[in-house]
Structure 1
């Protein structure tokens, strides 16, 4: 178990990093606008679990592989980008059916599928793997031993903070969406915007490099 001062220092660093809106926040917001608050929160849970899985993978050695292998990095990057674009295109195509989806399936689909989408987007983000690989070891105390276990603990802390922070964004966007649901035209516009946002995120991920 990492020392208390290391835990607190990492929690503060993680909070400051997570607090700044990034691709994961934009993805959650776009999901909230397209399918509602419940879909956003389920997506957040899936993403948090995905972040923890990545942290555990980094602790067990995957981080070193992704950091040193251009092929591994590219596979993760393009898989994640393609999935984001796929979700964005589907959201855009469904923009005229959002009223029907809202009334029959408030979450925009089954809870399991929505959770899985958030999970996949999280675990296919190579930048997160590289980030964990760079920052987690900095807080490990060699005197305590079990470096991998310490990094897994830090990963769990990061996932919990991300869960809470992203949930706030999702709930806020979900509340704003309630105004759009009063008009089919407004609902269609915001659904289309959410789809375009997801597509843009996917394209951005695909075009980004290791220096970003």
Structure 2
């Protein structure tokens, strides 16, 4: 069993990783603003699945897979970036920004797409990849028992913290959506802001190296 202090330091590291603005946070905010809390939570499930992907890679000693095969990583990044650019276009393509019409005109992603893009956003996020390659393993201690159990424990902490913090982000963004929808003049600003976030995320995803 890992010492309590070790778990506290690990939890603090995870919190810092999550609250620093990055692709996953921006994607959750944009989806929650555009489609509401349910869409944000579905996207979060994809993001958490991506976290599990890295946890499993790390547990089998394969966390450097994306470093060993950079082409795979770049393909994932490019695919995600192109789709985010498409989403940005969809956010501003509606000619009318009436509060009752503009959101109906937007093409909203189906649950499976929300999940897949959330997953892709996490897997192609250099910040997450680097955390699991260079930080996660530092909290493992062979003297504290079975390494497999430690992976399970730390992974559980990571997922729990991610769910809690990102759920708060989704809740806040979806509440903002409700307030904005009551003011037709702000709908145009909201949609362009969402497009800006998605474009910035696409550029960051495409040109940030691992």
Does the TM-score normalized on the shorter chain lie above 0.5?
A: yes
**Partner SS state of residue 143, structure 1:** helix
Aligned residue-pair number: 209
Taking the TM superposition and a 5 Å limit, the aligned residue runs for 1:101-180 are: 108-144=108-144, 146-180=146-180
Task: Tell me the C-alpha RMSD between the 2 structures.
Answer: 3.0
Deviations 1:160-209 (A, max 9, x none): 21111112122112112212212344223312321221121111121112
Number of the residue aligned with 2:191:
191
What secondary structure, in the 3-state scheme, does the structure 2 residue paired with 1:79 have?
Answer: helix
Cα distance change, pair 86–184 in 1 and its aligned pair in 2 (3 A): same
Change in 2 beyond 3 A, CA 1:113/1:207:
closer
SS at match of 1:62: coil
Give the superposition deviation at 1:158: 1.5
Cα deviation, residue 133, structure 1:
0.9
- Alpha-carbon separation, structure 1, partners of 2:57 and 2:95: 37
| 1:129-153 CA-partner distances (Å, limit 9, x unpaired) | 2221111110111124543553343
Matching of residue 63 in structure 1 with residue 63 in structure 2: yes
| Separation (CA, whole Å) in 2 of partners of 1:200 and 1:49 | 24
Instruction: Give 1:182's aligned residue.
Output: 182
Contact 2:80 2:117 in 1 (8 A): no
1:149, 1:100 → 2: CA distance?
52
Q: Which runs of 5+ in 2 are unaligned?
A: none
Give the structure-2-normalised TM-score: 0.81
Q: How does 1:12-27 map to 2 (within 5 A)?
A: 12-27=12-27
1:84 correspondence with 2:117: no
For 1:131 and 1:124, the matched residues in 2 are separated by: 13
Q: For residues 100 and 59 of structure 1, what CA distance do their matches in structure 2 show?
A: 49
Whether the 8 Å contact between 1:76 and 1:125 is mirrored in structure 2 is: no
- SS of structure 2 residue aligned to 1:63: coil
Distance 1:125 1:16, change over 3 A: closer
Give the deviation of 1:21 after TM superposition.
Answer: 2.7
How has the CA–CA distance of structure 1 residues 198 and 77 changed in structure 2, closer, same or farther, with 3 Å as cutoff? same
Q: Distance in 2 between matches of 1:72 and 1:103?
A: 37
Partner-residue secondary structure (3-state), 1:21: coil
Q: CA deviation at 1:27?
A: 1.7
Uncovered stretches (5+) of structure 1, i.e. residues with no partner: none
Whether the 8 Å CA contact 1:14–1:161 is kept in 2: the answer is yes
